[in-house]
Amino acid sequence: MLDGWTGKISNENNSQPAKPKAALPLVSRDARTNTIVRVKSVAIGGSEAVVMAGPCSVESREQVVSTALAIKKSGAVILRGGAYKPRTSPYDFQGLGLDGLRLLREAGDIADLPVITEVMSEEDVPAICDYADMLQIGARNMQNFALLRKIARTNKPVLLKRGASATVKEWLAAAEYLLHGGNEQVVLCERGIKSFDSALRNTLDLASVALVKEMTHLPVIVDPSHATGKRSLISATAKAAIAVGADGVIVEVHPQPEIALSDSAQQLTFEGFSELMENLQAPLRRIAFSRELAVLA
């Protein structure tokens, strides 16, 4: 399905990696059956679609603990929260760093949820590995190859977001770096791409989710929060994501979105998240049923 390389298979000076016959042999669906990525006791890519949720940024103990308890009650299985934030302006809130990591871990432990957080820099990898159960590579770092190589050498599951201007091939090639470097626990995340239309923050590319599910054995989830930037559209787009075959969604939730230090317009209230989960129950059950049938067939 993926193009073959045209170059030589082995390299004479041996300083470069040998090129395989297929362009991306490790992520390609031809390589193996569906990968199930495990984050503590949570399985991503199996018969049940998963919901990860939490604040855009960890802001305070009260904020992240109350959010963890609220999302757990509504049925989320992984807590998200940014401690190192990739902000467009250097004058915007940059995250609480190590203090944020500690608070996220504490909130996860209180609510009994595994935690995921973004890694922006190679130098932060060891500290983040001490606190997080899953590492997030953000859209802006999808092609930070040094960071990909470093994270490939950890034993943590990884969420690899699609770059806002990345093609499907570039996204899969970034995942190939992780597998090639030794980390096979990789989940892909579509989070919207740039387009000509400024009506929404980004353009949610759901056709590519269905396409990538055909091309790779890795699980694929969708981030409707960053894709739309608009609270009122999260429910519709999350349902659509599950309908096209996504293995889950990751959603931003905040106790008081109107005073959030980042991404205020797209974060759901606790009540909004609880409604979303009610709306998702039927699609989630349907997909679980159809996947069980597919396994039996």
The one-letter amino acid at 165: S
Nearer to ligand PEP, 29 or 230 (CB): 230
- For residue 32, how many other CB atoms are within 10 A of its CB? 13
Cβ closest to ligand PEP, residue 65 vs residue 139: 139
Is the distance from CB of 220 to CB of 249 less than 8 angstroms? no
Which one-letter amino acid corresponds to residue 156?
Answer: K
Residue 161 contact partner, candidates ligand PEP, Mn ion, none, CB within 5 to 8 A by sort of partner: ligand PEP
Q: Are 267 and 250 in contact (CB under 8 A)?
A: no
Q: Which of Mn ion, ligand PEP, none does 139 bind, CB closer than 5 to 8 A by kind?
A: ligand PEP
Residue closest to 84 by CA, chosen among 160, 9, 21, 141:
141
Q: Confirm or reject binding of residue 176 to Mn ion (CB under 5 A).
A: no
Structure tokens at 8: 């030589």
For ligand PEP, the closer of residues 27 and 56 by Cβ is 56
Q: Closest CB to ligand PEP belongs to which residue?
A: 138
In the complex with ligand PEP, the residue whose CB is nearer, 139 or 261, is 139
Instruction: Pick the binder of ligand PEP from 45, 82, 224, 272 (CB under 6 A).
Output: 82
Given a contact cutoff of 8 angstroms between Cβ atoms, the answer to whether 104 and 131 are in contact is: yes
Establish if 161 lies at the interface with ligand PEP (CB under 6 A). yes
Interface residue with ligand PEP among 72, 150, 201, 226 (CB under 6 A) is: 226
Of these, 158, 253, 263, 272, which contacts Mn ion (CB under 5 A)? 263
Applying CB under 6 A, does 119 fall inside the site for ligand PEP?
Answer: no
Question: Binders of Mn ion: how many residues, by CB under 5 A?
Answer: 2
List 45, 55, 138, 224, residue binding ligand PEP (CB under 6 A): 138
Q: What is the smallest separation between the CB atom of 191 and ligand PEP, expressed in angstroms?
A: 4
Instruction: Fill in the DSSP letter of residue 38.
Output: E
Cα distances (angstroms) measured from residue 165 to each of 48, 66, 123, 168, 223: 30, 35, 25, 10, 16
260 binds ligand PEP per the rule CB under 6 A? no
Residue 51's Cβ-count burial label (10 Å; 0-12, 13-18, 19+) is buried
R_g (Cα) of the chain, nearest Å: 19
| 29-37, 104-112, 136-144, 173-181 -> range binding ligand PEP (CB under 6 A) | 136-144
**Residue spans of alpha helices (H) in the chain:** 61-74, 98-111, 125-131, 145-152, 168-180, 206-215, 224-228, 234-243, 270-296
Closest separation between CB of residue 138 and ligand PEP, Å?
3
Q: How far is the CB of 17 from Mn ion (least distance, A)?
A: 35
Which residues are near ligand PEP by CB under 6 A?
A: 56, 82, 86, 118, 138-140, 161, 191, 223, 226
